[in-house]
Amino acid sequence: MKKLDMREKLKNNGMKSTKHRVAILEILIKKDQPVSAENIFFDMQKMDVSINLSTVYRNLEALAEKGLVTKLSLSGDNRSVFEYNKMVHRHYLICLGCKKILAIEHCPIKSYEHQIEDETDYEIVGHKLDLYGYCPKCKKNNPGYQPKNSQD
């Protein structure tokens, strides 16, 4: 997506188009996986876009408010991560070794949700599924490692 398209997109969502917001969107779209506010902050410095960390947070919040960006908190890390919202339902595969996050688009949960709705009388509006494991590289370095809690 080009800069001009991003400026367009911001305006369509009733947001002023600033170089900061464009740069944040650029970074998120390029990465195509969840990143922390601090990471974005550093990437912007590398791009010679001077910005304050609190402005990163404010923009991420504004973008999330408009639905352009999604904020997630993945287990085991206290900080939030953000990704460009491609409007597709995704799950995440987090490597316990190098902490890399892989997005997965296939979702097996819909029928399970209906089943739980029937059992509990809740109205279920969504879910979050994260898988934890070791990527091919870390798998080699940690052969046979088993975490204490497979659900965590």
Partner DNA sequence: ATGATTGCAAACGGTTTGCACCTAC
Partner DNA sequence: GTAGGTGCAAACCGTTTGCAATCAT
Residue 78 interacts with a copy of itself (CB under 8 A)? yes
By CB atoms closer than 10 A (0-12, 13-18, 19+), residue 149 is exposed
Told to check if 136 binds a copy of itself by CB under 8 A, we report yes
Q: Which does 75 bind (CB under 5 to 8 A by kind): a copy of itself, DNA, none?
A: a copy of itself
> Which position has the token pair 């953000």?
82
Number of residues forming the site for a copy of itself (CB under 8 A): 48
Smallest gap, in angstroms, from Cβ of residue 23 to DNA? Answer: 9
Residue 22: CB minimum distance to a copy of itself, A: 22
Our CB check for a copy of itself shows the closer of 46 and 144 to be 144
Task: Tell me which of 62, 103, 109, 138 binds DNA, using CB under 7 A.
Answer: 62
Of 45, 54, 75, 141, the residue at the interface with DNA (CB under 7 A) is: 54
89-94's contacts with Cβ under 8 Å and 24+ in sequence apart are: 91/128, 91/129, 91/130, 91/131, 92/34, 92/129, 92/130, 92/131, 93/130, 93/131, 93/132, 93/133, 94/130, 94/131, 94/132, 94/133
List own/partner pairs for 39-43 with CB under 8 A and 24 or more apart: 40/82
Rg of the chain's alpha carbons, rounded to an integer?
18
Minimum separation from the CB atom of position 92 to a copy of itself (A): 10
Q: Which residues bind a copy of itself (CB under 8 A)?
A: 67, 70-73, 75-76, 78, 85, 89-90, 93, 95-96, 102, 104, 108-109, 112-113, 116-117, 120-136, 139, 145-152
